[in-house]
Amino acid sequence: MSTTTERVRLAAAAVAVLLAGCAASQRNDASVIAPATTYDFGRPATPIELARFFSPLPDGRGLPKGSGTVAQGKRLYEAQCLACHGDNLQGGLGDRLIGGRGTLVNGDPTKAPVKTVESYWPYATTLFDYIKRAMPLTAPDSLSDDEVYALCAYILSRADVIAADATMDARSLAAVRMPNRDGFIPDPRPENFPPVSQTQHRK
């Protein structure tokens, strides 16, 4: 690399000598000398600084310590979530959280599939991540890790995904198999559309 840099520098100097008549253009030519491969701006990020961030992966890496039960989650839900998500988790200002299994297969143009945590979400770790970072709407990132585990436990229990006496922690949450785990496929686009003549028409 240094040889290349040296060549560029020599070439730039040669160009400067050949073409430049004045000091100003020599300064300009000096600027074309190859830049450093790293600039080293900014500062190292320390583990302490990074500790405030969390981003669990579906296999559980990145989930914090702590735990919570369904019963703890029920109390928290009623205090923190019920106003927007409903006393039966049926939704309101916030999304519906449970129900909807069996509605995703749906060719009915008048009836929408019911997409909930129970029917649609493929990973339980996403539930922890989203509640922790974004809920409640007016006080995001205000719940402790134990509280978030408890809310995950309550919602997953009400969704009949885990038992009513379950405890959620990093290990058990990552082990939850969501009903729609296999419901996602890769992007098939660009698609090969049929000719317009072979499609339905509306005028």
Chain residues that interact with other proteins, rule: CB under 8 A: 35, 37-45, 49-50, 53, 55-59, 93, 104-113, 115, 117, 120-123, 125-126, 129-130, 133-134, 137, 140-141, 183-191, 193-194, 196, 198-203
Nearest distance, CB of residue 84 and other proteins, angstroms: 9
User: Look-up: residue for tokens 């070439």?
Assistant: 11
* Local structure of residue 117 (DSSP, 8 states): T
Nearest distance, CB of residue 187 and other proteins, angstroms: 4
Nearest distance, CB of residue 151 and other proteins, angstroms: 14
Nearest distance, CB of residue 18 and other proteins, angstroms: 26
Question: Nearer to other proteins by C-beta: 2 or 108?
Answer: 108
Question: Nearer to other proteins by C-beta: 21 or 188?
Answer: 188
Rg (CA), the chain: 29
Question: Nearer to other proteins by C-beta: 20 or 126?
Answer: 126
One-letter amino acid for residue 44 of the chain: P
Nearest distance, CB of residue 58 and other proteins, angstroms: 5
Helix (H) or strand (E) holding 150: helix 145-158
Q: Cα separation of 24 and 20, whole Å?
A: 8
Question: Nearer to other proteins by C-beta: 56 or 68?
Answer: 56
CB 1 within 8 A of CB 35: no
85: its two tokens: 């998500």
**Burial 180-200, CB ≥16 within 10 A → b, else e:** beeeeeeeeeeeeeeeeeeee
Question: Nearer to other proteins by C-beta: 21 or 190?
Answer: 190
